[in-house]
Structure 1
């Protein structure tokens, strides 16, 4: 009874607050539902893509893996980035000739396989994926393609957590002691700028030159625009090398070579 006696005088305030903030509460609820649906659909997509590629490709054949991914993407909505971006990515990798590559956002393992097949024998790929299921299935696809654990490492964590510990996961190598010469960002665009700054702060970008590839998806371009605005304001270290509809290549250089 005493609870009722205390609550009754507060009813007008409770009603007022509920009325004032109901729009914000409704918006938060919709965002939470959208996030949950996106997560569920993403996992379904990863499972279906993996099952198709795993069952239809020729194991141990890299070209067969990529062709099967492309075949699936023609008829199904897919998280893999597809051959158009893949070919542009190949051109950058061949030009940069990196020995060590960082990939933020593994998805189904499609880009991981594309990257690994162009690295030198001593090259190494570190790929970061937040979702454990995606990381597990993506790693299996890499192994099915014929690559060995000595050639790549999968880190299951947020990009921010991974970057803070990357020094612990990089093996000393006289040829790659300067950090990453190629970084691919295909995760949450809201993290593009924070992660780029973190990579610079941790001295993980090769000072003599590092190409950073930012995948551009029109439905989530706000984070990309913010990143490009920052880069254009930092002309001392950054410049936009190539800007395509679906991918932007940013070049970072701290040491000026003569």
Structure 2
């Protein structure tokens, strides 16, 4: 029979004494590994959520609206969006903020509108149905599938291509191409509902390009996001250039006081 000798108490004490100095090292290593693992998991989950978020918009929202609305009627399209959002996840601004947007579009009657972030076309339809006859909407969406489905929703709502243009590119690329598209005109309304981290860089690019009219209105959605807060801090520090007019939920209306040139002179 094979006998295994149990460790003696003296050996156990010696082993414990040797191990004690190593405990902090083991603790730190375990903590670092755990933190790195958590960080990796967070990044993966964030990417999966963003991917899922986009698929919800493109596949589910578009299919429901397209199949259930009355084609050619913008009011029916918007109501179908709202019906969908009552029982499903949705990325549209919804009827409450939509009415806030409507109020501003009616009051300002903008001729040239830039929408950054399309989200299946809900906001696009709300804006287009209230524009003056000579008004035009340029809507920008980075994701090609969302842009394609959003354009279908706009067409289903009864609008024609001369009334709008969809650009599938980054906001920076779209802003860089605006001078050739606008000619002598400037933007009267800018709706920002894309990546909040791009809000301030895009506003600065619009400034440098002299693309904002003297009566331009900026509308920011998701103002609780750090990127939106950075823009609000920027405009709050420049009351001679911008007025923060009103806020509804997490959407803010900002008015340009003057046309801003790259060198800082005012017109």
Q: Please give the range of the TM-score, normalised by the shorter of the 2 chains.
A: 0.7 to 0.9
Q: CA RMSD in A?
A: 2.3
Asked which structure has the greater CA Rg, the reply is 2
Task: Note the 1:78-117 alignment, pairs <5 A.
Answer: 78-117=90-129
- Structure 1 stretches of 4+ with a deviation exceeding 2 A read 18-26
Matches within 5 A, 1:1-258: 22=33, 23-24=35-36, 26-28=38-40, 30-170=42-182, 172=183, 177-206=184-213, 208-216=214-222, 218=224, 221-254=225-258
Taking the aligned partners of 2:179 and 2:48, their CA distance within structure 1 comes to 33
For the residues of structure 1 that align with 2:39 and 2:245, how far apart are their CA atoms?
39
Please state how far the C-alpha of 1:247 moved relative to its aligned partner: 0.7
- Structure 1: any 5+ residue segments left out of the alignment? 1-17
Instruction: Give how far 1:133 is off.
Output: 0.5
Q: Is the 8 A contact 1:43 1:133 kept in 2?
A: no
TM-score (norm 2): 0.81
- Tell whether the 8 Å contact from 2:97 to 2:249 is kept in structure 1 after alignment: no
Answer yes or no: is the 8 Å Cα contact 1:90–1:115 preserved in 2: yes
Supply the distance in 2 between the matched residues of 1:36 and 1:158 (Cα, whole angstroms).
Answer: 21
Does the 8 Å CA contact 1:102/1:126 hold for their aligned counterparts? yes
Contact between 2:56 and 2:89, CA under 8 Å: does it hold in 1? no
Q: Is the 8 A contact 1:178 1:205 kept in 2?
A: no
